[in-house]
Structure 1
């Protein structure tokens, strides 16, 4: 909200500030405009709508409307999708501010309808009832949304815009397909519909180019496309803002057709095309030239080599030049640099000026040779034209011969790749240049691969119950969280379609296969977006298919936004009955909530426990059938419970570890990530992580009597630890590390555990400390228990910050909040022995594989070895989750605990007061987070003092010796039956031990016999289960986790008879 000066903001927040800044500029110019924002969320613009909603009031005050693609006004519209997946969230958060500025934000039902609404907003002044001078519109959508909206965008761009309105289209491109089913490259589609394309390279340009884009749109009459990639949208940085920034120059118009270049009520298609290509696009070029969107950055005297880049590639290039020792942007290497801001159409004037006198031009760009081809075309036929290296070298694409240079047209590019290409190209041109690419850090990795932390369904996720299909059936996947069913059971669920095409693949397969039926998963958000048409298509084709509509009430993939249209399950089913579906079922986790609710004819109401039987019944039906599975999103339900907006049952699940046999059936039936391994002296058991449990209770359906549900009471809170600090010696202030040119901190952890919070805290704290920062949160699907890394870069000057992503070997500090992620190849590639210091959490949180593999294990020694090979002795390893849980009552505090430890160890170059203030500004659990930070400081200073204070009360997983192992089992069998029974056990074990000793074989066989024979003798019949539930050990375990007045519900009665 600052009007002028340096401020920190994320990329998505910059896009929220954009319409407000535009409205303020219009007011200063005496214009009465409105704003209209619409689109559809999706990473990397997944939170844009949420931030717009937050700013709704301020937007309205400035006559800016954000609507999900449904109406007119000052308009922001579109549809969510990575990397714009949270744009709508940020817009919601900015709700008050948007409202104040008369800005309307309406998220789109889908992308093309949102674009059509903004198309209409540009024509409001062609009719007499308009209340504003013009409406500027902002459309947003993920790459696939751009693809599906080509028709609407073409029509809208050919029609044009209002002279006091303008239209900006934000395309969220996920170049690495980290959270997409296909890679995105929206440039070529924008070009196909005749839209100028601008490409910001950082957060500052996201704001500046956005304002330029709207001004260019007004001047030229074109819609303007702005490409937004993950590293920009999902990053953040320190930005300079001002009421008159950026300076906008309105140039001389190169040509002016009759009646101008703007939108008309009645127009002919060929006349529109002529106006676009003969007048509007030349005007856009004139605007770009007058406002220096394309700039020759450095023109070294006598330069013979030029380098061209745009957007993210430009930041990668600057990072590369710094790594090569040319921090003055190429002058030390004798280079001339061209930074392209408008990538299409490329200005021929600046290209010719740039190329004059050069022998070689190297083009650094992602994906297709967009700039390269334009440069070749512009310079073709020029006298003494330079050679060009990019995707092609010596006339061949991807020439891999020695010394060749080529930028791949797939995947993402990195500074390391750019360095290799640049050095090869320059060295081939000038063999005496003396350049060599920096060697990648040799982090000595083990020959054995490290385990991967793949994403999985959240604890208690409804998709754990709704996506499995009966044996012998298969399902087609769709877009949404439920797509991860292809990871959980790829033999059952596969072949995901584009959004809205769910199930349509079967129409092409069905005539040519012996299989007579499939299931198709479709989310409620997708159904509203476009998926209902796929069902209508199946009805028209009359094919045997069962659509499972997975109704959870939120768009959970991108942040939990409400679904546009807000249809209820009954309304959806009524619509489908009207469409002609005759076999339908409503399956719910709580059918009682439909008591008294009239259901459409032919719809049966069933409990989720009947899901398998229901699917078996429906797969025999010879037409289109529908099962609507209704269960709220577990994560959103948890968030609402914390805010007191959702009923929180006084009920929790608990496992009696003595009864548990570690078979894993509870995980098999529930696929729940809250079930974790518990290593005991009697082998691996199971426990419930109460911090992550979302109270779905599916685990109690397992074939096991060890489960109880605890009714009433509450989780035991740890004894207050804050007063203890007054009896402990004070923690000294550390010596903060020197920043140098820049300081890079890598945070590695698990999605959903607060890694992004740590990243944001550091970035904001750096700003509060008078420093400059950038940060990038690489999440993808990792918010679902997968790996997430946050890249935070800090500098004293803004010009020292280039690429937001930390390059190989460039991390100064690693905060490893999860051992598996920290020891993975991606994190290790950023470390450099002798340079990087680290604080690592040694707690082993199981991966999603554990729910499906009861014998899942990780070699902790291997992970530690990998880290030590990369870090040497510059690492502190802590049991952060265990310590945080003991001190704070919740392991979720471990990440802030880790930040405190890292700061105390001198791994963070920011003053403590700034970090504490950033925690306050975040506004969530302020006191708890400050306390966790302080305990982390103490652990960083004196780990043993904190360990001693906490103690270690978990049972030992392994007895210290074979004798101890035998004696413990003798005691157990004595309690189990009697001393004679125990003597029988001891006698056999001792005979084996004697035989093994005489054979000189060690103790491995005896150990195995001691374990297995005990397990055989201590069979857990109903009497033994009852004895173990009555034992003091069980009561002690309960009291360790719960307090207050509670009662137990035993699930023994349902076992095993419920399975018979």
Structure 2
């Protein structure tokens, strides 16, 4: 057989190796004696990674005849396992906990029939104790008990792998199915294990066998009454065989110290055992108490329980979630007491679990466990038990409890980071359109005009998939209930007969093949009035992009039949007249019209939205770009979507419509504006296509002219800024290798490479001989969900540790995102890893906004977060820098921040690693990207060693920002670019300088003033600007120094805002100004001298009022058009009704400013008057977006003016002559 390409870790047959939890399950299948034959199931967190690993090993599996496949749903996966037991095959099926619900019928029948005595059946149950990614509280043990399927629970990484083989042994020796329970912290964790040799099956897909049906035991295999009850009667005998097999293999283990500290013992299992051992080690008590570690948690072996309990006064049950073990143990001990004779050793009188003695809190029965929860519960218990006096180190126990109290002190409320659709996600095309439709369907005027019917409130039934994120802003009104996967339509069937509302269900192609098509069939039968919107994105996107029945390729890359969704629906609905239509949701107006028409039809309708998953599409594009770069050394052309912040009004309509994390915030001289995040934006243009109906009865408008398409063209490779940095003199920090335990916590946002950074540290630590453990928290969305990784190195003298860091015991917090790093200290979470005495912090101070922040609902301050983290970590080991900006400057993207921060932490001496180990890890794991990542790592080192050296080497040009810089820059531009420019520039200089002499304000406010005077000169000449200056000087003359001249500053900002009306002429100027070109050249690293060129396509919707009529149209403009338009200031006088509302608002505000003499000099009324002067701040957007806000500002002003006039002056007014 020719050699196949495969990850060498999976071929290793001895010695230590590092795997993730899901990889351990795969390696366990490979190591199973006799080999495994069938791997199946349905992907769901936390075990979906099993299928990704199987796909990566496809060549090995095909060569060895192992059949790995994804079933359409969990029930079919288990049914396939049932079929495998017709012969002596070993089969495994995996699903998440709620998938076990789906598969329960197949499990019950398969288990009762039994596993083949030469084969074996293992059902992996992925539980989520913390309910972080599962819709209902997960504890599959109870369901297994109902199904009479034994439960085997591995604890650490070694058992997670090795016990797959054990599970098959137990299955065939007992002829029972084995439920193999794996939790999130195990599957999404991993660590160092000892590898063993692989085994491959003799009977396989390349060496098939023939079944002899005459040899089938039909009495056994065909399980229907009256055979069912006979099988049930025999189940106990199989349990006895299971217990006997477990005793032979040492599945349940007892740890008894030579001199126990007390006459009580712990009973535990699974990952809770790791947490218990870890907690006892932190308390200095590991090895001091008897522990029964149960491997089989159902059915419990009575002999094991009674033998352990004999002679003990108390049993303490340590388990996650409900009292599953506790209930069984109480029942077993009660029965044992009833049947005990006088010679039987006494059994414990008390069993504790969810409740502890003396009224102390026991083990929680909701959410999960971790070492710190046990330190808290057990520490208090040990101090309260008199029999432990003198047997425990009380000061140490109290120190641990004090630490837990200290980590609760972090009191800063943190903004929540909710997940959202990835940039480029086709679900966003649908959701943004449906948000519009839902709003307009409730508008009587719109419905009469557009459809000739009354208003309609749409009802949306929830389903399972990426579209579950519709529950979050800005789409939360598109999900009104949730019943589970494939059940959205069924939920609607229950309310449909009683309502007039139209109903809609979102569904993915994977959900359609899982169970959604049954819901559609039911809708047809029930005569529902419902629209199914099925996204055919050609992947199981939510769980890692596994294959679907709609693709022509299997998990192992083999050809399969590609099933067509609309053909299936058409066949189901043949002859009924049901609408079944396929459409590209990116064609927004066509899609919107189709949806409106379809939803309003009666009966069942199916719209197939045909657009590839944004991640898979843009990964393919990125691969092509990398290929071109390798061949030519640069990209000849690249297209971007850009937002001209000069034109942006920060009205937030783009974020409200899309919720796209490719949008971000930028601080400018005009305040906060929207910006495209080049590192995340995929330039799909979704943010450019939305339209807004700001109020009822108002036609939809394109909200903003600030969006533009930019095409960057190069003729040669640009010089790389990274090459300006000199790494040759970097000193190597002294490696501080640890012989005990080192804990690191990495925090970020999905897409920032937290998993990559952790993988590098895992490999580096493994190379240095540490026992490595880790635990990842993966975001619900690949983009914008909060993620973290916990990493532990254990040296040769390390005590017992789990893969979860106890509260306050991280040695390093690496905050790739500052907000998520702060969350690592938040006492409302289950992390709380930082402390003042132990934790160093390396932080990226770049602000990655949450969706709520982008929507203007829940902002956060970077400086406030920094202060909080600094005060709760080791001050002497604190380092922070805007690494994202630096990465952008060095590499043109922020995607290297993770590795740069590893370099910074390493250079600060905060990692117990040799330089060679990290460099080896980068070269080994990052392939073609290794070279750039090595540069990023060393750039991070240099940053930590000498920030100034990095800044000097880059020498990044900055926009003029001081008063003097702005004045000189604007004089220069006016001189060169305007007709009679020298005279105009001199007039501008004189106007600003003369006025500035009289303004007793801060230097920053003077800079703001000079910039805004310039804008108004560009808007309509020097006289127009002088009107502004006169108003500013006038209010300043009566302003109060003790109030910091707040009224003056308010007028400088807001009078400019209302006078610089962004009509088509001024916007044309802003889009083609020298300042904008200069900033864009810096942003896109453009040098015309190299032949670089930027070409713009501006996405405008000009509008004119002429002869009482409104003319508006969509128009993609080029710069030459806008440059002509920018000179047509005469249009403002030729068309007096053009932007008349904005002009009226300008005059209203100017009149308001003139009232300053009555209020600005009065301390008692000053603050309210300044609030009044700042009212235009919130008047944002264009035309129909802006007008309601202008009205609201004027209404509020009337109220505040009434209050001002009703308030007597605080002192006699001095009105200057």
TM bucket, shorter chain: 0.7 to 0.9
* 1:570, distance to aligned residue in structure 2 (A): 4.3
Deviations along 1:867-915, whole A, 9 cap, x unmatched? 0121141310011101111112210100110111111112211222111
Q: Helix, strand or coil for the counterpart of 1:141?
A: strand
Q: Helix, strand or coil for the counterpart of 1:191?
A: helix
Which residue number corresponds to residue 454 of structure 2? none
Which residue number corresponds to residue 62 of structure 1? none
Residues 747, 821 of structure 2: 8 Å contact kept? yes
* 1:581, distance to aligned residue in structure 2 (A): 5.7
Compared with structure 1, are the counterparts of its residues 680 and 391 closer, same or farther at alpha carbon in structure 2 (3 Å cutoff)? Answer: same
Which residue number corresponds to residue 480 of structure 1? 465
* Distance across 1 between alignment mates of 2:304 and 2:274: 20
* Distance across 2 between alignment mates of 1:926 and 1:647: 15
1:984-995 to structure 2, matched below 5 A, reads 984-995=1027-1038
Deviations along 1:306-345, whole A, 9 cap, x unmatched? 011111110110111011112xx332xxx11111111111
Of 835, 840, 846 in structure 2, the residue corresponding to residue 832 of structure 1 is: 835
Q: Tell me which structure has the larger Cα radius of gyration.
A: 2
* Distance across 2 between alignment mates of 1:270 and 1:539: 36
* Distance across 2 between alignment mates of 1:355 and 1:286: 19
Which residue number corresponds to residue 745 of structure 2? 746
Unaligned runs of 5+ residues in structure 1 are: 27-32, 36-73, 126-133, 246-258, 591-606
* Distance across 2 between alignment mates of 1:741 and 1:798: 5
Q: Is 1:96 equivalent to 2:64 in the alignment? A: no
Compared with structure 1, are the counterparts of its residues 553 and 661 closer, same or farther at alpha carbon in structure 2 (3 Å cutoff)? Answer: same
1:53-92 to structure 2, matched below 5 A, reads 74-92=37-55
1:837-852 to structure 2, matched below 5 A, reads 837-852=840-855
* Distance across 2 between alignment mates of 1:812 and 1:689: 32
1:186-201 to structure 2, matched below 5 A, reads 186-201=140-155
* Distance across 1 between alignment mates of 2:895 and 2:841: 20
Q: Helix, strand or coil for the counterpart of 2:950?
A: helix
Which residue number corresponds to residue 584 of structure 1? 580
Compared with structure 1, are the counterparts of its residues 448 and 474 closer, same or farther at alpha carbon in structure 2 (3 Å cutoff)? Answer: farther
* 1:817, distance to aligned residue in structure 2 (A): 0.5
Which residue number corresponds to residue 250 of structure 1? none
Of 342, 361, 366 in structure 2, the residue corresponding to residue 405 of structure 1 is: 361
Q: Helix, strand or coil for the counterpart of 1:644?
A: helix
Compared with structure 1, are the counterparts of its residues 466 and 244 closer, same or farther at alpha carbon in structure 2 (3 Å cutoff)? Answer: closer
* 1:830, distance to aligned residue in structure 2 (A): 0.6
* Distance across 2 between alignment mates of 1:717 and 1:385: 80
Compared with structure 1, are the counterparts of its residues 262 and 813 closer, same or farther at alpha carbon in structure 2 (3 Å cutoff)? Answer: farther
Residues 510, 540 of structure 2: 8 Å contact kept? yes
Which residue number corresponds to residue 760 of structure 1? 759
Q: Helix, strand or coil for the counterpart of 2:574?
A: helix
* 1:1036, distance to aligned residue in structure 2 (A): 2.0
Bigger Cα displacement from structure 2, 485-494 vs 104-113: 485-494
Q: Helix, strand or coil for the counterpart of 2:948?
A: helix
Residues 110, 530 of structure 1: 8 Å contact kept? yes
* Distance across 2 between alignment mates of 1:140 and 1:170: 5
Which residue number corresponds to residue 616 of structure 1? 596
Residues 158, 276 of structure 1: 8 Å contact kept? no
Unaligned runs of 5+ residues in structure 2 are: 1-10, 200-214, 440-456, 552-562, 629-636, 690-701, 964-1002, 1087-1091, 1104-1111, 1115-1182, 1185-1217
* 1:573, distance to aligned residue in structure 2 (A): 4.9
Bigger Cα displacement from structure 2, 861-870 vs 621-630: 621-630
Residues 1013, 1025 of structure 2: 8 Å contact kept? yes
Q: Is 1:142 equivalent to 2:96 in the alignment? A: yes
* Distance across 2 between alignment mates of 1:809 and 1:261: 60
Of 149, 156, 179 in structure 1, the residue corresponding to residue 110 of structure 2 is: 156
Compared with structure 1, are the counterparts of its residues 699 and 265 closer, same or farther at alpha carbon in structure 2 (3 Å cutoff)? Answer: closer
* Distance across 2 between alignment mates of 1:287 and 1:919: 45
Q: Helix, strand or coil for the counterpart of 2:244?
A: helix
* 1:378, distance to aligned residue in structure 2 (A): 2.2
Q: Is 1:450 equivalent to 2:414 in the alignment? A: yes
1:626-645 to structure 2, matched below 5 A, reads 626-644=606-624
* 1:230, distance to aligned residue in structure 2 (A): 0.7
1:258-273 to structure 2, matched below 5 A, reads 264-265=220-221, 269-270=227-228, 273=231
* Distance across 2 between alignment mates of 1:21 and 1:845: 44
CA RMSD of aligned residues (A): 2.8
Deviations along 1:128-168, whole A, 9 cap, x unmatched? xxxxxx31101101101111111101111112222221111
* 1:261, distance to aligned residue in structure 2 (A): 11
Q: Is 1:16 equivalent to 2:21 in the alignment? A: no
* Distance across 2 between alignment mates of 1:118 and 1:828: 39
Q: Helix, strand or coil for the counterpart of 1:974?
A: helix
* 1:569, distance to aligned residue in structure 2 (A): 5.0
Q: Is 1:1004 equivalent to 2:1046 in the alignment? A: yes
Which residue number corresponds to residue 490 of structure 2? 504
* Distance across 1 between alignment mates of 2:516 and 2:577: 15
* 1:464, distance to aligned residue in structure 2 (A): 1.6
* 1:665, distance to aligned residue in structure 2 (A): 2.4
* 1:215, distance to aligned residue in structure 2 (A): 1.0
Compared with structure 1, are the counterparts of its residues 845 and 717 closer, same or farther at alpha carbon in structure 2 (3 Å cutoff)? Answer: farther
* 1:184, distance to aligned residue in structure 2 (A): 1.4
Which residue number corresponds to residue 892 of structure 2? 889
* 1:975, distance to aligned residue in structure 2 (A): 2.5
Q: Is 1:543 equivalent to 2:553 in the alignment? A: no
* Distance across 2 between alignment mates of 1:171 and 1:651: 45
Which residue number corresponds to residue 793 of structure 1? 792
Q: Helix, strand or coil for the counterpart of 1:299?
A: coil
Which residue number corresponds to residue 243 of structure 2? 285
* 1:266, distance to aligned residue in structure 2 (A): 5.3
Bigger Cα displacement from structure 2, 663-672 vs 553-562: 663-672
Which residue number corresponds to residue 939 of structure 2? 935
Which residue number corresponds to residue 904 of structure 2? 901
* Distance across 1 between alignment mates of 2:948 and 2:407: 29
Compared with structure 1, are the counterparts of its residues 774 and 796 closer, same or farther at alpha carbon in structure 2 (3 Å cutoff)? Answer: same
Q: Is 1:495 equivalent to 2:481 in the alignment? A: yes
Which residue number corresponds to residue 7 of structure 1? 17
Which residue number corresponds to residue 708 of structure 1? 708
* 1:705, distance to aligned residue in structure 2 (A): 1.6
Q: Is 1:1050 equivalent to 2:1098 in the alignment? A: yes
* Distance across 2 between alignment mates of 1:717 and 1:828: 46
* Distance across 2 between alignment mates of 1:172 and 1:512: 39
Q: Is 1:417 equivalent to 2:373 in the alignment? A: yes
Which residue number corresponds to residue 682 of structure 2? 694
Which residue number corresponds to residue 275 of structure 2? 316
* 1:350, distance to aligned residue in structure 2 (A): 2.0
Q: Helix, strand or coil for the counterpart of 1:384?
A: coil
* Distance across 2 between alignment mates of 1:1050 and 1:626: 36
Q: Helix, strand or coil for the counterpart of 2:182?
A: strand
Bigger Cα displacement from structure 2, 297-306 vs 1039-1048: 1039-1048
Which residue number corresponds to residue 719 of structure 1? 719
* 1:80, distance to aligned residue in structure 2 (A): 0.7
Give the count of matched residue pairs.
960
Which residue number corresponds to residue 817 of structure 2? 818
Residues 121, 178 of structure 2: 8 Å contact kept? yes
Deviations along 1:552-604, whole A, 9 cap, x unmatched? 221111111121343345435534543846123333146xxxxxxxxxxxxxx
* 1:852, distance to aligned residue in structure 2 (A): 2.9
Which residue number corresponds to residue 168 of structure 1? 122
Compared with structure 1, are the counterparts of its residues 715 and 574 closer, same or farther at alpha carbon in structure 2 (3 Å cutoff)? Answer: farther
Residues 371, 806 of structure 2: 8 Å contact kept? yes
Which residue number corresponds to residue 548 of structure 2? 563
If each structure's strand is expressed as a fraction of its own residues, which one has the higher value?
1
TM-score normalised according to structure 2 size: 0.75
Residues 718, 889 of structure 1: 8 Å contact kept? no
* 1:171, distance to aligned residue in structure 2 (A): 0.5
Q: Helix, strand or coil for the counterpart of 1:442?
A: helix
Q: Helix, strand or coil for the counterpart of 2:621?
A: helix
Compared with structure 1, are the counterparts of its residues 1027 and 725 closer, same or farther at alpha carbon in structure 2 (3 Å cutoff)? Answer: closer
Which residue number corresponds to residue 255 of structure 1? none
Which residue number corresponds to residue 212 of structure 2? none
1:322-337 to structure 2, matched below 5 A, reads 322-326=281-285, 329-331=286-288, 335-337=289-291
* Distance across 2 between alignment mates of 1:630 and 1:862: 45
Bigger Cα displacement from structure 2, 307-316 vs 502-511: 502-511
* Distance across 2 between alignment mates of 1:886 and 1:909: 30
* Distance across 2 between alignment mates of 1:647 and 1:141: 37
* Distance across 2 between alignment mates of 1:722 and 1:522: 46
* 1:761, distance to aligned residue in structure 2 (A): 1.2
Residues 691, 890 of structure 1: 8 Å contact kept? yes
